[in-house]
Amino acid sequence: MTDPILVEIVEGTLASVEKEVETAIARTARSPMIRDAHDFRAGIHDARLRKLTGRSYSALVQPIVRDFPIETMKPGDVYFHNDVYLSEGGIGHLPDLCVTVPVFHDGEVVAFVQAFGHHDDIGGSVPGSMPSHARSVYEEGLMVPPIKLWDQGVPNEAALRIMTRNSRMPDSLAGDLDAECSACLMGARRLGELFERYGKQAVEECFDAIIAKTTETFRRELLAKIPEGTYVWEDYAEHDGVDEPRLHAQRITLTVDHAADAPLTIDFTGTSPQAKGPINHAGDYAGGVFLKKWLAPVLRNLADTPERMAELDVNEGVVPLIKMIFPEKGTLLTPVFPAPTNARTFVILRLLGVLAGVLAKATGGRMPADQETIRYTGVHGIDADGQPYLMREVLGGGSGGRWYADGEDTIHVVPDSRNIPVEFAEARWPFRVERLALACDSGGPGMFRGGLGYDKHIRMLRDASYMSIADRSILSCWGVNGGLAGRPFRVEIAGKEMEGLVDDHPVQAGDLIRIRTTGGGGWGSPYDRDPRAVAADVRDGKVSIAGALGDYGVVLDGDRIDEQGTAELRARLRPPADRFFDRGPGYAKLSGGRAYAEVDEL
């Protein structure tokens, strides 16, 4: 039997090394996207390619060992790739650059340290390498299949020169790669010390125990709460950047069989054909192992308490619990090369919500409402010194209301990522940030309100171009169990409303860019929300007086609640029966006037 104390030591060491790698990258990288927005993450894998850490999701080691057998690796080697279609599903779009370093003990590979993140620019047809109207991956930037970037400690200068030559931000790219390679090499040394201290057999037995604990915990504590049966639900991306807006469906048929080795079967049959534009995600590789680890955190919402949910790691232990069935090639999740993928967040973020929705149907609503917490907005142009610049920000939004609490405001789904500090932005780029606040009334009304999005105003000081890669500008984050949908994404430039997908809309000096990100969906009927909570939201500027009256049926006289007026108004406003899902008014625009989908019925 593995020593439980040693398991705790090894588990803590893995978490510490992962955090140390990420801290080193954040302190030494150059680009705002990596250093300031923190849109990157590290991961530790064993020699069997299993993800050991659970604090963050990561890419995969499978494409590296596929092209470079483990027995050929040497200390000091660093491998690199960003090719979506040769990444086994671990890389979603070309700006995500991945470095992988093998860990050695007694001349043998015993583990891997990996880092991947979203970099400023890797070439392609537009600054930032995310052309919203791309029809081919060739428009999106430089594709690099798995290569050896460092050979026994010696950098491959030719490869680095090719990559930086293709980037509009070569200094930032070179600095970021140096930071990531050096941090992963440091992490490999730290893990090597762990093997030196306790020996290969003992440490690998601890790896097995860590993964087995996750498998057993998820099976016993979480999956057991889902009644056996088959459940179907779907949700949609609204725009692919090429065709006119329409419903691009992502469907999950969930089958639960507690006696099976893999209790959950997730079948994506019914997902729409691949899009002409860049919203596709190549997820059907390596048995869907990346998507299994991407989707599994949703299951933590089934924990008994929020505190217990926060304790549960998602590592390779979740993989054997899930079986995935993919449709034939040529869908949003099974695109055929060279289909573009740079806006694949529209699909993989939506899949988190589809799994939450189908689990809500299965569990009577014990899941959070919807959220949309990644979109890219920014400007690019020439600064006062005549140098090109790119400001791109991953602005979050509100999370969905939960069965026990309101949603969180302005969260970012990428772990530890954040908005770019105003002081830094104004010192570096030719604009002023005139407002950075919560977007009043953006959260979906409910017994537990959806979290609020951002309200950000940028005043341009020089002519430039605006860019945006954003979904949920027509469709809203849905509400559940009687909760209502949140407000969608909105951008206005000099009073003109923008679409969600924009490459280079001209903005002039003096123009004001107003960005309002999505609010999360509400949970439970808004007419069951405590009027005192509504009054507190009004005092805090989260809900307007008009919103309190129209969305919650709460009559306020200053700070005082008119209890009789509230009771009478709620009685008039309350519908005969609450709809389980509420998709908001945008759904009718794209569905031919339907208020809800057939799969919304319980």
Question: Residue 384 in contact with residue 431, Cβ under 8 Å?
Answer: no
Longest dimension (CA), the chain: 78
Residue 580 and residue 363 in contact, taking contact as beta carbons nearer than 8 Å? no
What is the reported pLDDT for 288?
96
- Under 8 Å CB-to-CB from 453, ≥6 apart: which residues? 396, 397, 398, 409, 410, 438, 439, 442, 443, 486, 487, 489, 516, 517, 518, 519
Nearest Cα to Cα of residue 12 among 298, 313, 227, 302: 313
Specify whether the backbone of 558 is left (phi greater than 0), alpha (psi in -120 to 50) or beta: left
Q: What is the mean pLDDT of residues 408-420?
A: 85
Q: Look at residue 496 and tell me whether its pLDDT is greater than 80.
A: yes
Identify the weakest region by mean pLDDT among 165-179, 373-387, 411-425. 411-425
pLDDT recorded at residue 55: 72
How far, in Å, CA of 257 to CA of 558, rounded? 55
- 418 has pLDDT over 90: no
Q: Is the pLDDT of residue 54 over 90?
A: no
The percent of residues in the chain predicted with pLDDT above 70, rounded, is 100
Q: DSSP character for 344?
A: T
Residue 1: pLDDT over 90: no
Residue at 533: amino acid letter:
A
Radius of gyration of the chain, Cα coordinates, nearest whole angstrom: 24
* Alpha carbons 367 and 310: distance in angstroms, whole number: 15
Cα(311)–Cα(303) distance, rounded to whole angstroms? 10
CA–CA gap between residue 184 and residue 18 (Å, rounded): 9
Mean predicted confidence (pLDDT) in 101-105: 98
- Average pLDDT value for residue range 592-600: 94
User: For the ranges 309-318, 412-421, 480-489, which has the lowest average pLDDT?
Assistant: 412-421
Question: What mean pLDDT comes out for the span 301-318?
Answer: 95
Coil, helix or strand for 88? coil
Q: Are 238 and 474 in contact (CB under 8 A)?
A: yes
DSSP bridge pairs for 432: 459
The pLDDT score that the predictor gives to residue 413 is: 80
**DSSP string covering 518-553, please?**
PPPPPBS-GGGS-HHHHHHHHHTTSS-HHHHHHHH-
- Using an 8 Å Cβ cutoff, are 368 and 477 in contact? no
Host H or E run for residue 369 = none
Confidence (pLDDT) at 486 = 98
Phi-psi region of 237 (alpha: psi -120 to 50; beta: other; left: phi over 0): beta
φ/ψ bin of 76: left (φ > 0), alpha (ψ from -120 to 50), beta (otherwise): left
pLDDT confidence of residue 578: 85
HSE, side-chain direction, 13 A CA sphere, residue 273:
1
Report DSSP state, residue 521. P
Sign of the four-CA dihedral 576, 580, 585, 591: negative
Q: What is the pLDDT of residue 176?
A: 97
Q: If we measure between CA atoms, which residue out of 316, 399, 321 comes closest to residue 353?
A: 399
Distance of CA 69 to the CA centre of its chain: 31
Q: Indicate whether this model's pTM tops 0.85.
A: yes
> Could you check whether the bond before residue 506 is cis, i.e. omega within 30 degrees of 0?
no
pLDDT value, residue 57: 76
Residue 416 has pLDDT above 80, yes or no: no
Closest CA to 358 of 250, 476, 247: 250
Read off the tokens for 554: 């709460």
Counting residues of the chain whose pLDDT is more than 90, the rounded percentage is 95
Report yes or no: 491 and 515 within 8 Å, Cβ to Cβ. Answer: yes
Q: How confident is the model at residue 255 (pLDDT cuts 50, 70, 90)?
A: very high
Long-range contacts of 152-158 (CB under 8 A, 24+ apart): 152/74, 152/75, 152/76, 152/77, 153/75, 153/76, 154/76, 155/181
Mean pLDDT for the chain overall:
96
For strands 229-237 and 154-155, give the pairing.
unpaired
Tokens of 134: 């791309």
Q: Name 244's Cβ contacts closer than 8 Å, sequence gap at least 6.
A: none
Q: Quote the pLDDT of residue 212.
A: 97
Query: Length of the chain in residues, anyone?
Result: 602
CA distance 491 to 298: 30
**Burial class of residue 387 (count of CB atoms within 10 Å of its CB; 0-12, 13-18, 19+):** exposed
* Dist CA 210 CA 10 (whole Å): 9
Tell me the backbone φ, ψ of residue 311, rounded to 5 degrees: -85, -15
Give the C-alpha distances (Å, rounded to integers) separating 455 from 188, 410, 541: 42, 10, 12
What is the pLDDT confidence band of residue 243, given thresholds at 50, 70 and 90? Answer: very high
Q: How far is CA 210 from the centre of its chain?
A: 25
Give me the mean pLDDT over the 314-320 stretch: 97
Q: Quick count: other Cβ atoms within 10 Å of Cβ 20?
A: 15
Residue 219 DSSP code: I
Q: Name the nearest CA neighbour of 335 among 140, 127, 146.
A: 140
- pLDDT of 417 reads 80
For 29-43, 334-348, 358-372, which range has the lowest pLDDT when averaged over its residues?
29-43
Please report the sign of the dihedral spanned by the C-alpha atoms of residue 556, residue 453, residue 234, residue 263.
negative
Task: Quick: pLDDT tens for 126-163.
Answer: 999 999 999 999 999 999 999 999 999 999 999 999 99
CB-based burial, 239-278: b 16+ in 10 Å, e otherwise: bbbbeebbbbbbbbbbbbeeeeeebbbbbbeebbebbbbb
Rounded distance, CA 515 to CA 497, Å? 10
